[in-house]
Structure 1
Amino acid sequence: MTGVPQQSDPDSLEHVAGKVEVLHDHFKDSKAKMTGVTGQNPFGEIKHPDTRPGEPHPSEHAVQALGNFKDRMHSQFDAAADLMKSSGGALREAAKALREADNAAKDSLTVKDGSLDT
């Protein structure tokens, strides 16, 4: 890993912000790809013996478990996407603050003719 730069420049911060914000989109895309059981049940029709009437099929339990897992994972993907979006925004705000500080410093400097001659 390379060393940490001694100063931050606004352009670099905005570049990193763009990269972080792309992660937001990747999390949203990944979330969309994670689905529960859709269409035909991949676990088939497994039925309990007649000695346990009225109880759901084991495959129904598996479908429900997968659905619960999917819902929890979706909430994790949403949380990660929101974190990436807010991190990108924080980086952009930092870049803006650096630019404003640089501009304020430039406006505050007054050089009189010949005062810096060595």
Structure 2
Amino acid sequence: MAPRLRPQSAEAVAQARAALVGDPTDKAALRLLTKHYLAVLSQQAPGGAVEVRVPPYAAVQCIPGTSHTRGTPPAVVETDAATWIALASGELAWEQATEEGRISASGERSDLSAYLPL
């Protein structure tokens, strides 16, 4: 079983955000913020109806409803790290990201706009 993601300290988040200002491709900062915001989402919307994937960094199951244990989950949301961080922090709206094709979302409950920003 994979270890659960945990939110990072405010200081670590601030440092990672500052690192991205200097270098938007900083992999350590992208990884930390991606995992942080996925952990926050899974705490604020616990469940197993939706799997949110941000390759190559992490994935979580969240949102109450139907859950799964094997195979493809009933709903999947996938995006890149920069888009996920922008959505989670309120810098990008769900509608805009979907219109621009920055999110792949399928299945019931895959619209995360009610949960964002975090």
Q: Check whether TM > 0.5.
A: no
Structure number with the higher helix fraction is 1
TM range (shorter): under 0.3
User: Relative contact order (alpha carbons < 8 A, sep ≥ 6): 1 or 2 greater?
Assistant: 1
Structure number with the higher strand fraction is 2
Q: Which has the larger radius of gyration?
A: 1
